[in-house]
Amino acid sequence: MKQYEFWFVVGSQFLYGQDVLDTVAARAEEMAEALSKVLPYPLVYKVTAKTNKEISDVVKEANYRDECAGIITWCHTFSPSKMWIDGLRDLQKPWCHLATQYNREIPNDEIDMDFMNLNQAAHGDREHGFMGARLRKPRKVIAGFWQDRCVQERLAKWQRVCMGVIASREMKVMRFGDNMREVAVTEGDKVETQIKLGWQVNTWAVGDLVKEMKAVTEAEVDALYEEYISQYDVNTDNLAAIRYQAREEIAMKKMMDREGCKAFSNTFQDLYGMQQLPGLASQHLMSLGYGYGGEGDWKVSAMTAILKSMGEGGNGASGFMEDYTYHLVEGQEYSLGAHMLEVCPSLAADKPRIETHHLGIGMNEKDPARLVFEGKAGKGIVASLIDMGGRLRLIVQDIEAVKPIMPMPNLPVARVMWRALPNLTTGVECWITAGGAHHTVLSYDVDAEMLRDWARIMDIEFVHIGADTTPEKLEEELLVKDLVWKLK
Ligand code: MN
Protein backbone atom coordinates (compact mmCIF):
# COMPACT_ATOMS: atom_id res chain seq x y z
CA MET A 1 0.00 0.00 0.00
CA LYS A 2 1.53 3.29 -1.11
CA GLN A 3 1.65 6.20 1.34
CA TYR A 4 0.28 9.34 -0.25
CA GLU A 5 0.66 12.93 0.89
CA PHE A 6 -0.44 16.39 -0.21
CA TRP A 7 1.78 19.42 -0.52
CA PHE A 8 1.04 22.85 0.95
CA VAL A 9 2.39 25.67 -1.21
CA VAL A 10 1.95 29.15 0.19
CA GLY A 11 2.17 32.32 -1.91
CA SER A 12 3.89 35.53 -0.83
CA GLN A 13 6.47 38.05 -2.11
CA PHE A 14 9.55 39.98 -0.89
CA LEU A 15 7.74 43.33 -0.49
CA TYR A 16 6.94 42.99 3.21
CA GLY A 17 10.39 42.05 4.51
CA GLN A 18 11.98 38.95 6.02
CA ASP A 19 10.03 39.09 9.31
CA VAL A 20 6.73 38.73 7.51
CA LEU A 21 8.09 35.87 5.38
CA ASP A 22 9.34 34.08 8.49
CA THR A 23 5.94 34.48 10.15
CA VAL A 24 4.15 33.19 7.03
CA ALA A 25 6.43 30.14 6.88
CA ALA A 26 6.01 29.35 10.58
CA ARG A 27 2.23 29.65 10.37
CA ALA A 28 2.04 27.55 7.19
CA GLU A 29 4.05 24.84 8.93
CA GLU A 30 1.74 25.01 11.95
CA MET A 31 -1.38 24.82 9.78
CA ALA A 32 -0.05 21.85 7.78
CA GLU A 33 0.77 19.97 10.98
CA ALA A 34 -2.62 20.67 12.53
CA LEU A 35 -4.52 19.74 9.36
CA SER A 36 -2.50 16.54 8.96
CA LYS A 37 -3.94 15.38 12.29
CA VAL A 38 -7.53 15.60 11.03
CA LEU A 39 -7.21 14.82 7.31
CA PRO A 40 -7.06 11.25 5.95
CA TYR A 41 -3.70 11.99 4.26
CA PRO A 42 -0.87 14.21 5.55
CA LEU A 43 -0.42 17.78 4.36
CA VAL A 44 3.27 18.63 4.01
CA TYR A 45 4.32 22.28 4.02
CA LYS A 46 6.73 22.77 1.12
CA VAL A 47 7.52 26.40 0.45
CA THR A 48 6.58 30.03 0.90
CA ALA A 49 6.86 30.88 -2.78
CA LYS A 50 8.11 34.31 -3.80
CA THR A 51 9.52 33.76 -7.30
CA ASN A 52 8.63 32.14 -10.59
CA LYS A 53 11.48 29.66 -10.08
CA GLU A 54 10.39 28.58 -6.60
CA ILE A 55 6.90 27.84 -7.93
CA SER A 56 8.11 26.06 -11.08
CA ASP A 57 10.54 23.98 -9.02
CA VAL A 58 7.94 22.78 -6.52
CA VAL A 59 5.52 21.94 -9.36
CA LYS A 60 8.20 19.95 -11.22
CA GLU A 61 8.86 17.97 -8.06
CA ALA A 62 5.13 17.45 -7.39
CA ASN A 63 4.63 16.13 -10.92
CA TYR A 64 7.58 13.76 -10.54
CA ARG A 65 6.93 12.42 -7.04
CA ASP A 66 4.48 9.49 -7.04
CA GLU A 67 3.67 9.99 -3.36
CA CYS A 68 2.42 13.53 -3.98
CA ALA A 69 -1.32 13.12 -4.66
CA GLY A 70 -2.06 16.82 -5.11
CA ILE A 71 -1.15 20.34 -4.07
CA ILE A 72 -3.04 22.78 -1.86
CA THR A 73 -2.22 26.45 -2.38
CA TRP A 74 -3.01 29.53 -0.28
CA CYS A 75 -1.85 33.13 -0.32
CA HIS A 76 -1.20 34.37 3.22
CA THR A 77 -0.13 37.74 1.82
CA PHE A 78 -0.44 39.18 -1.65
CA SER A 79 1.42 37.01 -4.19
CA PRO A 80 1.62 38.57 -7.67
CA SER A 81 0.31 35.87 -9.96
CA LYS A 82 2.40 36.34 -13.09
CA MET A 83 5.06 34.43 -11.18
CA TRP A 84 2.61 31.49 -10.91
CA ILE A 85 1.94 31.19 -14.66
CA ASP A 86 4.72 28.75 -15.59
CA GLY A 87 4.20 26.54 -12.56
CA LEU A 88 0.42 26.31 -12.80
CA ARG A 89 0.57 25.75 -16.55
CA ASP A 90 2.86 22.75 -16.03
CA LEU A 91 1.06 21.31 -12.99
CA GLN A 92 -0.13 17.74 -13.63
CA LYS A 93 -1.37 16.89 -10.13
CA PRO A 94 -4.81 17.82 -8.75
CA TRP A 95 -4.94 21.35 -7.34
CA CYS A 96 -7.01 22.76 -4.49
CA HIS A 97 -6.99 26.48 -3.75
CA LEU A 98 -7.71 26.88 -0.03
CA ALA A 99 -8.97 30.43 0.43
CA THR A 100 -8.49 30.76 4.17
CA GLN A 101 -6.68 32.98 6.64
CA TYR A 102 -4.56 32.29 9.71
CA ASN A 103 -6.75 34.25 12.15
CA ARG A 104 -10.48 33.80 12.53
CA GLU A 105 -11.30 37.27 13.84
CA ILE A 106 -10.33 40.82 12.96
CA PRO A 107 -8.58 41.96 16.20
CA ASN A 108 -10.21 45.29 16.95
CA ASP A 109 -7.43 46.82 19.09
CA GLU A 110 -4.47 45.27 17.36
CA ILE A 111 -5.34 45.92 13.73
CA ASP A 112 -3.09 48.42 11.90
CA MET A 113 -1.45 48.51 8.48
CA ASP A 114 1.25 46.01 9.52
CA PHE A 115 -1.48 43.55 10.47
CA MET A 116 -3.23 44.23 7.16
CA ASN A 117 -0.03 43.58 5.16
CA LEU A 118 0.60 40.29 6.90
CA ASN A 119 -3.01 39.04 6.88
CA GLN A 120 -4.34 39.84 3.45
CA ALA A 121 -5.51 36.49 2.13
CA ALA A 122 -8.76 38.13 1.00
CA HIS A 123 -6.60 40.17 -1.32
CA GLY A 124 -3.95 37.59 -2.23
CA ASP A 125 -6.39 34.74 -2.87
CA ARG A 126 -8.26 36.87 -5.40
CA GLU A 127 -5.10 37.49 -7.41
CA HIS A 128 -4.38 33.75 -7.16
CA GLY A 129 -7.93 32.90 -8.21
CA PHE A 130 -7.69 35.17 -11.24
CA MET A 131 -4.69 33.23 -12.56
CA GLY A 132 -6.48 29.91 -12.07
CA ALA A 133 -9.41 31.24 -14.07
CA ARG A 134 -7.21 32.94 -16.68
CA LEU A 135 -5.31 29.70 -17.30
CA ARG A 136 -8.59 27.73 -17.41
CA LYS A 137 -6.85 25.43 -14.96
CA PRO A 138 -9.14 22.89 -13.29
CA ARG A 139 -9.03 23.41 -9.54
CA LYS A 140 -11.10 22.98 -6.42
CA VAL A 141 -11.78 26.16 -4.47
CA ILE A 142 -12.57 25.81 -0.77
CA ALA A 143 -13.15 28.98 1.25
CA GLY A 144 -13.46 29.29 5.01
CA PHE A 145 -11.52 29.24 8.28
CA TRP A 146 -8.99 26.39 8.26
CA GLN A 147 -9.92 25.22 11.77
CA ASP A 148 -13.63 24.95 10.98
CA ARG A 149 -14.91 21.42 10.79
CA CYS A 150 -16.79 21.89 7.54
CA VAL A 151 -13.65 23.25 5.81
CA GLN A 152 -11.64 20.31 7.10
CA GLU A 153 -14.32 17.85 6.01
CA ARG A 154 -14.34 19.32 2.51
CA LEU A 155 -10.54 19.13 2.35
CA ALA A 156 -10.76 15.52 3.51
CA LYS A 157 -13.29 14.72 0.80
CA TRP A 158 -11.11 16.39 -1.82
CA GLN A 159 -8.15 14.28 -0.69
CA ARG A 160 -10.34 11.19 -1.15
CA VAL A 161 -11.25 12.41 -4.65
CA CYS A 162 -7.51 12.50 -5.43
CA MET A 163 -7.31 8.83 -4.38
CA GLY A 164 -10.01 8.23 -6.99
CA VAL A 165 -7.86 10.07 -9.54
CA ILE A 166 -4.89 7.82 -8.75
CA ALA A 167 -7.12 4.72 -8.85
CA SER A 168 -8.44 5.80 -12.24
CA ARG A 169 -5.04 6.49 -13.75
CA GLU A 170 -3.78 3.10 -12.55
CA MET A 171 -6.98 1.21 -13.44
CA LYS A 172 -6.75 -2.08 -15.30
CA VAL A 173 -9.96 -3.95 -16.05
CA MET A 174 -10.04 -7.69 -16.76
CA ARG A 175 -12.92 -8.63 -19.04
CA PHE A 176 -14.06 -12.24 -19.16
CA GLY A 177 -15.99 -12.37 -22.42
CA ASP A 178 -17.57 -9.46 -24.27
CA ASN A 179 -20.55 -7.25 -23.52
CA MET A 180 -24.04 -8.78 -23.48
CA ARG A 181 -25.28 -9.04 -27.05
CA GLU A 182 -27.13 -5.99 -28.46
CA VAL A 183 -26.91 -3.87 -25.29
CA ALA A 184 -25.99 -0.25 -26.07
CA VAL A 185 -25.26 1.58 -22.83
CA THR A 186 -22.56 -0.83 -21.68
CA GLU A 187 -20.51 -0.13 -24.82
CA GLY A 188 -17.89 2.60 -25.10
CA ASP A 189 -14.70 3.81 -26.69
CA LYS A 190 -11.88 2.12 -24.77
CA VAL A 191 -9.20 4.20 -26.46
CA GLU A 192 -10.91 7.48 -25.50
CA THR A 193 -11.41 6.12 -21.98
CA GLN A 194 -7.73 5.27 -21.65
CA ILE A 195 -6.72 8.73 -22.92
CA LYS A 196 -9.09 10.55 -20.54
CA LEU A 197 -9.30 8.29 -17.49
CA GLY A 198 -6.20 6.11 -17.81
CA TRP A 199 -8.06 2.79 -17.82
CA GLN A 200 -6.47 -0.21 -19.51
CA VAL A 201 -9.41 -2.38 -20.51
CA ASN A 202 -8.55 -5.77 -22.01
CA THR A 203 -10.12 -9.17 -22.43
CA TRP A 204 -9.18 -12.65 -21.24
CA ALA A 205 -10.74 -15.91 -22.41
CA VAL A 206 -13.25 -17.64 -20.16
CA GLY A 207 -11.30 -20.81 -21.06
CA ASP A 208 -8.23 -19.35 -19.35
CA LEU A 209 -10.31 -18.77 -16.22
CA VAL A 210 -11.61 -22.36 -16.32
CA LYS A 211 -8.02 -23.62 -16.62
CA GLU A 212 -7.07 -21.46 -13.62
CA MET A 213 -10.08 -22.79 -11.66
CA LYS A 214 -8.97 -26.38 -12.28
CA ALA A 215 -5.54 -25.57 -10.85
CA VAL A 216 -7.00 -24.28 -7.55
CA THR A 217 -6.23 -26.74 -4.73
CA GLU A 218 -8.75 -28.15 -2.25
CA ALA A 219 -6.73 -26.54 0.55
CA GLU A 220 -7.16 -23.11 -1.07
CA VAL A 221 -10.89 -23.73 -1.41
CA ASP A 222 -11.08 -24.85 2.24
CA ALA A 223 -9.44 -21.62 3.42
CA LEU A 224 -11.74 -19.29 1.50
CA TYR A 225 -14.79 -21.41 2.42
CA GLU A 226 -13.90 -20.92 6.10
CA GLU A 227 -13.60 -17.18 5.49
CA TYR A 228 -17.09 -17.10 3.91
CA ILE A 229 -18.55 -19.05 6.82
CA SER A 230 -16.97 -16.70 9.36
CA GLN A 231 -18.23 -13.56 7.62
CA TYR A 232 -21.71 -14.60 6.52
CA ASP A 233 -24.64 -16.70 7.71
CA VAL A 234 -25.25 -19.88 5.73
CA ASN A 235 -28.83 -20.43 4.63
CA THR A 236 -28.41 -23.40 2.28
CA ASP A 237 -27.56 -27.10 2.40
CA ASN A 238 -25.77 -26.87 -0.91
CA LEU A 239 -22.27 -26.44 0.45
CA ALA A 240 -20.77 -27.68 -2.84
CA ALA A 241 -22.12 -24.55 -4.55
CA ILE A 242 -20.37 -22.36 -1.97
CA ARG A 243 -17.12 -24.26 -2.52
CA TYR A 244 -17.52 -23.84 -6.26
CA GLN A 245 -17.85 -20.06 -5.80
CA ALA A 246 -14.69 -20.10 -3.68
CA ARG A 247 -12.87 -21.86 -6.51
CA GLU A 248 -14.11 -19.22 -8.96
CA GLU A 249 -13.07 -16.37 -6.69
CA ILE A 250 -9.57 -17.74 -6.09
CA ALA A 251 -9.01 -18.22 -9.82
CA MET A 252 -10.32 -14.76 -10.77
CA LYS A 253 -8.29 -13.09 -8.01
CA LYS A 254 -5.10 -14.88 -9.08
CA MET A 255 -5.57 -13.79 -12.68
CA MET A 256 -6.37 -10.19 -11.71
CA ASP A 257 -3.51 -9.88 -9.23
CA ARG A 258 -1.07 -11.30 -11.75
CA GLU A 259 -2.05 -8.57 -14.23
CA GLY A 260 -2.52 -5.79 -11.66
CA CYS A 261 -6.26 -5.53 -12.42
CA LYS A 262 -8.53 -3.86 -9.83
CA ALA A 263 -11.79 -4.50 -11.68
CA PHE A 264 -13.44 -7.17 -13.81
CA SER A 265 -16.51 -7.91 -15.84
CA ASN A 266 -18.16 -11.08 -17.12
CA THR A 267 -21.37 -12.05 -18.85
CA PHE A 268 -23.91 -14.77 -18.25
CA GLN A 269 -23.85 -15.33 -22.03
CA ASP A 270 -20.30 -16.64 -21.85
CA LEU A 271 -19.72 -19.09 -19.02
CA TYR A 272 -18.29 -21.81 -21.23
CA GLY A 273 -16.88 -24.55 -19.00
CA MET A 274 -18.24 -23.00 -15.77
CA GLN A 275 -21.09 -24.46 -13.74
CA GLN A 276 -22.27 -21.22 -12.11
CA LEU A 277 -22.22 -17.51 -12.82
CA PRO A 278 -19.92 -16.10 -10.11
CA GLY A 279 -22.23 -14.62 -7.46
CA LEU A 280 -20.82 -14.97 -3.97
CA ALA A 281 -17.37 -14.95 -5.64
CA SER A 282 -17.93 -11.56 -7.27
CA GLN A 283 -19.61 -10.18 -4.14
CA HIS A 284 -16.72 -11.16 -1.90
CA LEU A 285 -14.18 -9.77 -4.39
CA MET A 286 -16.11 -6.46 -4.35
CA SER A 287 -15.94 -6.42 -0.56
CA LEU A 288 -12.13 -6.56 -0.94
CA GLY A 289 -12.21 -3.43 -3.15
CA TYR A 290 -12.33 -4.94 -6.64
CA GLY A 291 -14.74 -3.36 -9.10
CA TYR A 292 -17.35 -5.44 -10.90
CA GLY A 293 -19.77 -4.91 -13.76
CA GLY A 294 -22.31 -7.42 -15.05
CA GLU A 295 -23.06 -8.16 -18.70
CA GLY A 296 -19.56 -7.07 -19.72
CA ASP A 297 -20.08 -3.57 -18.34
CA TRP A 298 -16.41 -2.57 -17.91
CA LYS A 299 -17.30 1.13 -17.37
CA VAL A 300 -19.40 0.48 -14.28
CA SER A 301 -16.84 -2.06 -13.09
CA ALA A 302 -13.97 0.43 -13.12
CA MET A 303 -16.20 3.14 -11.61
CA THR A 304 -17.13 0.78 -8.76
CA ALA A 305 -13.46 0.28 -7.90
CA ILE A 306 -12.77 4.02 -8.19
CA LEU A 307 -15.66 5.02 -5.90
CA LYS A 308 -14.58 2.36 -3.41
CA SER A 309 -11.08 3.86 -3.39
CA MET A 310 -12.58 7.25 -2.48
CA GLY A 311 -14.30 5.79 0.60
CA GLU A 312 -13.24 5.21 4.18
CA GLY A 313 -9.86 3.48 4.40
CA GLY A 314 -9.65 3.26 0.62
CA ASN A 315 -12.51 0.73 0.42
CA GLY A 316 -15.84 2.41 1.11
CA ALA A 317 -19.53 1.55 0.94
CA SER A 318 -19.99 1.59 -2.84
CA GLY A 319 -21.20 -1.17 -5.13
CA PHE A 320 -22.47 -2.20 -8.52
CA MET A 321 -26.23 -1.65 -8.75
CA GLU A 322 -29.04 -1.97 -11.26
CA ASP A 323 -32.43 -0.26 -11.31
CA TYR A 324 -34.99 -3.05 -11.56
CA THR A 325 -38.54 -2.12 -10.66
CA TYR A 326 -40.67 0.65 -9.06
CA HIS A 327 -43.20 0.91 -6.26
CA LEU A 328 -45.53 3.63 -7.56
CA VAL A 329 -47.98 3.96 -4.67
CA GLU A 330 -48.64 7.65 -3.95
CA GLY A 331 -46.50 8.82 -1.04
CA GLN A 332 -44.45 5.62 -1.17
CA GLU A 333 -42.65 5.94 -4.48
CA TYR A 334 -39.45 3.92 -4.52
CA SER A 335 -36.96 2.27 -6.87
CA LEU A 336 -35.94 -1.28 -6.13
CA GLY A 337 -32.37 -1.98 -7.12
CA ALA A 338 -30.60 -5.33 -7.21
CA HIS A 339 -28.77 -7.53 -9.67
CA MET A 340 -29.01 -11.13 -10.74
CA LEU A 341 -26.44 -11.97 -8.05
CA GLU A 342 -23.68 -9.44 -7.70
CA VAL A 343 -24.46 -6.76 -5.10
CA CYS A 344 -21.55 -5.71 -2.88
CA PRO A 345 -21.95 -6.57 0.83
CA SER A 346 -20.49 -3.12 1.72
CA LEU A 347 -24.07 -1.89 1.07
CA ALA A 348 -25.63 -4.33 3.56
CA ALA A 349 -27.59 -3.21 6.63
CA ASP A 350 -27.06 -6.53 8.43
CA LYS A 351 -24.99 -9.68 8.16
CA PRO A 352 -25.55 -11.15 4.67
CA ARG A 353 -26.64 -14.77 4.30
CA ILE A 354 -25.41 -17.23 1.69
CA GLU A 355 -28.22 -18.85 -0.31
CA THR A 356 -28.43 -20.97 -3.43
CA HIS A 357 -31.26 -20.57 -5.93
CA HIS A 358 -31.96 -21.47 -9.49
CA LEU A 359 -30.87 -18.80 -11.98
CA GLY A 360 -32.85 -19.06 -15.19
CA ILE A 361 -30.89 -16.47 -17.14
CA GLY A 362 -27.62 -17.60 -18.67
CA MET A 363 -25.86 -20.91 -19.04
CA ASN A 364 -25.73 -21.95 -15.37
CA GLU A 365 -25.56 -25.72 -15.02
CA LYS A 366 -25.98 -25.50 -11.24
CA ASP A 367 -27.74 -23.15 -8.81
CA PRO A 368 -25.27 -20.36 -7.99
CA ALA A 369 -24.53 -19.36 -4.40
CA ARG A 370 -24.98 -15.66 -3.64
CA LEU A 371 -25.23 -13.28 -0.70
CA VAL A 372 -28.74 -12.07 0.10
CA PHE A 373 -29.31 -8.95 2.24
CA GLU A 374 -31.11 -5.63 2.53
CA GLY A 375 -29.28 -2.39 1.80
CA LYS A 376 -28.69 0.26 4.44
CA ALA A 377 -31.01 3.23 4.88
CA GLY A 378 -29.48 6.67 4.42
CA LYS A 379 -28.40 9.35 1.97
CA GLY A 380 -26.43 8.23 -1.06
CA ILE A 381 -25.88 8.65 -4.76
CA VAL A 382 -26.08 6.58 -7.89
CA ALA A 383 -23.55 7.30 -10.65
CA SER A 384 -23.45 6.29 -14.29
CA LEU A 385 -20.67 6.87 -16.82
CA ILE A 386 -21.89 6.85 -20.41
CA ASP A 387 -20.17 7.29 -23.76
CA MET A 388 -21.87 10.13 -25.68
CA GLY A 389 -19.74 9.59 -28.80
CA GLY A 390 -16.66 11.79 -28.67
CA ARG A 391 -16.89 12.28 -24.93
CA LEU A 392 -17.79 10.67 -21.62
CA ARG A 393 -20.61 11.93 -19.42
CA LEU A 394 -20.81 11.18 -15.70
CA ILE A 395 -24.36 11.41 -14.35
CA VAL A 396 -24.85 11.51 -10.59
CA GLN A 397 -28.19 11.44 -8.81
CA ASP A 398 -28.81 12.04 -5.12
CA ILE A 399 -30.90 9.32 -3.48
CA GLU A 400 -32.34 8.48 -0.10
CA ALA A 401 -32.19 4.78 0.61
CA VAL A 402 -34.80 3.33 2.97
CA LYS A 403 -35.24 0.05 4.76
CA PRO A 404 -37.18 -1.98 2.15
CA ILE A 405 -40.85 -1.47 2.95
CA MET A 406 -41.66 -5.17 2.43
CA PRO A 407 -39.68 -8.38 3.07
CA MET A 408 -40.05 -9.84 -0.47
CA PRO A 409 -39.43 -13.43 0.78
CA ASN A 410 -39.27 -14.93 -2.71
CA LEU A 411 -36.71 -12.48 -4.09
CA PRO A 412 -33.45 -14.46 -4.01
CA VAL A 413 -31.03 -11.55 -4.32
CA ALA A 414 -29.64 -8.64 -2.32
CA ARG A 415 -31.82 -5.56 -2.69
CA VAL A 416 -31.69 -1.82 -2.00
CA MET A 417 -34.76 0.42 -1.98
CA TRP A 418 -34.47 4.16 -2.53
CA ARG A 419 -36.17 7.36 -3.51
CA ALA A 420 -34.41 9.37 -6.20
CA LEU A 421 -34.29 13.14 -5.80
CA PRO A 422 -36.01 15.52 -6.34
CA ASN A 423 -38.77 12.84 -6.24
CA LEU A 424 -39.08 9.46 -7.85
CA THR A 425 -40.89 10.35 -11.06
CA THR A 426 -39.13 13.67 -11.72
CA GLY A 427 -35.86 12.00 -10.82
CA VAL A 428 -36.53 9.22 -13.31
CA GLU A 429 -37.50 11.75 -15.99
CA CYS A 430 -34.22 13.62 -15.43
CA TRP A 431 -32.14 10.43 -15.39
CA ILE A 432 -33.68 9.19 -18.62
CA THR A 433 -33.34 12.63 -20.26
CA ALA A 434 -29.62 12.64 -19.44
CA GLY A 435 -29.19 9.09 -20.78
CA GLY A 436 -28.17 7.45 -17.50
CA ALA A 437 -27.72 3.67 -17.62
CA HIS A 438 -29.60 0.96 -15.73
CA HIS A 439 -26.22 -0.07 -14.31
CA THR A 440 -24.85 2.33 -11.71
CA VAL A 441 -22.48 2.56 -8.81
CA LEU A 442 -24.49 3.14 -5.64
CA SER A 443 -22.53 4.80 -2.86
CA TYR A 444 -23.23 5.80 0.71
CA ASP A 445 -19.92 7.59 1.27
CA VAL A 446 -19.08 9.32 -2.00
CA ASP A 447 -21.26 12.35 -2.75
CA ALA A 448 -22.05 14.48 -5.80
CA GLU A 449 -19.53 17.18 -4.88
CA MET A 450 -16.77 14.58 -4.82
CA LEU A 451 -17.72 13.22 -8.22
CA ARG A 452 -17.99 16.76 -9.62
CA ASP A 453 -14.41 17.31 -8.41
CA TRP A 454 -13.31 14.00 -9.90
CA ALA A 455 -14.94 14.73 -13.28
CA ARG A 456 -13.32 18.19 -13.37
CA ILE A 457 -9.87 16.70 -12.80
CA MET A 458 -10.43 13.94 -15.38
CA ASP A 459 -11.86 16.51 -17.84
CA ILE A 460 -15.16 14.78 -18.57
CA GLU A 461 -18.75 16.08 -18.61
CA PHE A 462 -20.59 16.06 -15.29
CA VAL A 463 -24.36 16.14 -14.75
CA HIS A 464 -25.88 16.28 -11.27
CA ILE A 465 -29.53 15.51 -10.54
CA GLY A 466 -30.48 16.64 -7.05
CA ALA A 467 -33.17 18.26 -4.95
CA ASP A 468 -33.28 21.42 -7.11
CA THR A 469 -33.19 19.81 -10.56
CA THR A 470 -36.13 20.28 -12.90
CA PRO A 471 -36.50 18.62 -16.32
CA GLU A 472 -36.64 22.06 -17.96
CA LYS A 473 -33.40 23.29 -16.41
CA LEU A 474 -31.72 19.97 -17.11
CA GLU A 475 -32.69 20.01 -20.79
CA GLU A 476 -31.15 23.46 -21.17
CA GLU A 477 -28.02 22.39 -19.33
CA LEU A 478 -27.60 19.33 -21.55
CA LEU A 479 -28.10 21.41 -24.70
CA VAL A 480 -25.41 23.89 -23.67
CA LYS A 481 -23.02 21.16 -22.54
CA ASP A 482 -23.52 19.29 -25.80
CA LEU A 483 -22.33 22.36 -27.72
CA VAL A 484 -19.47 23.06 -25.35
CA TRP A 485 -18.14 19.51 -25.39
CA LYS A 486 -18.27 19.38 -29.19
CA LEU A 487 -16.02 22.46 -29.27
CA LYS A 488 -13.60 21.28 -26.57
MN1 MN B 1 -27.31 -6.00 -15.36
pLDDT number for residue 366: 86
pLDDT number for residue 471: 97
The answer to whether 292 and 285 have CB atoms below 8 angstroms apart is: yes
**C-alpha dist (Å) from residue 245 to 83, 242, 282, 283, 414:** 59, 5, 9, 10, 17
Distance 307 CA to ligand 1 centre (A): 19
Please tell me the pTM assigned to this model.
0.97
Q: What is the pLDDT along the chain (488 residues), one digit of tens a residue?
A: 579 999 999 999 999 999 999 999 999 999 999 999 999 999 999 999 999 999 999 999 999 999 999 999 999 999 999 999 999 999 999 999 999 999 999 999 999 999 999 999 999 999 999 999 999 999 999 999 999 999 999 999 999 999 999 999 999 999 999 999 999 999 999 999 999 999 999 999 999 999 999 999 999 999 999 999 999 999 999 999 999 999 999 999 999 999 999 999 999 999 999 999 999 999 999 999 999 999 999 999 999 999 999 998 899 999 999 999 999 999 999 999 999 999 999 999 999 999 999 998 877 788 999 999 999 999 999 999 999 999 999 999 999 999 999 999 999 999 999 999 999 999 999 999 999 999 999 999 999 999 999 999 999 999 999 999 999 999 999 999 999 999 98
Distance 160 CA to ligand 1 centre (A): 28
Distance 296 CA to ligand 1 centre (A): 9
Cα separation of the two ends of the chain: 37
Domains and CATH numbers, the chain: 5-168 (3.40.50.10940), 170-487 (no CATH)
The answer to whether 101 and 111 have CB atoms below 8 angstroms apart is: no
State the helix-helix crossing angle for 218-231 and 239-259, rounded to 10 degrees.
Answer: 110
Distance 226 CA to ligand 1 centre (A): 29
Distance between CA 259 and CA 207 in Å, rounded? 17
Distance between CA 399 and CA 421 in Å, rounded? 6
Distance 247 CA to ligand 1 centre (A): 23
Side chain identity at residue 74, one-letter code: W
pLDDT number for residue 364: 75
Distance 322 CA to ligand 1 centre (A): 6
Distance 73 CA to ligand 1 centre (A): 43
Closest-CA residue to 347 (of 279, 443, 432, 223): 443
Distance 156 CA to ligand 1 centre (A): 33
Distance 19 CA to ligand 1 centre (A): 64
Distance between CA 403 and CA 349 in Å, rounded? 9
Distance 440 CA to ligand 1 centre (A): 9
Distance 83 CA to ligand 1 centre (A): 52
pLDDT number for residue 160: 98
Bridge partners of 75, per DSSP, are: 11
Distance 464 CA to ligand 1 centre (A): 23
Q: DSSP readout, 323-342?
A: EEEEEEETTEEEEEEE-SS-
Return the exposure string of 264-288: e unless at least 16 CB atoms fall within 10 Å of the residue's CB, then b.
Answer: bbbbbbbbeebbbbbbbbbbbbbbe
Side chain identity at residue 153, one-letter code: E
**C-alpha dist (Å) from residue 298 to 80, 179, 394:** 46, 8, 15
Distance between CA 63 and CA 65 in Å, rounded? 6
The answer to whether 332 and 245 have CB atoms below 8 angstroms apart is: no
Distance 264 CA to ligand 1 centre (A): 14
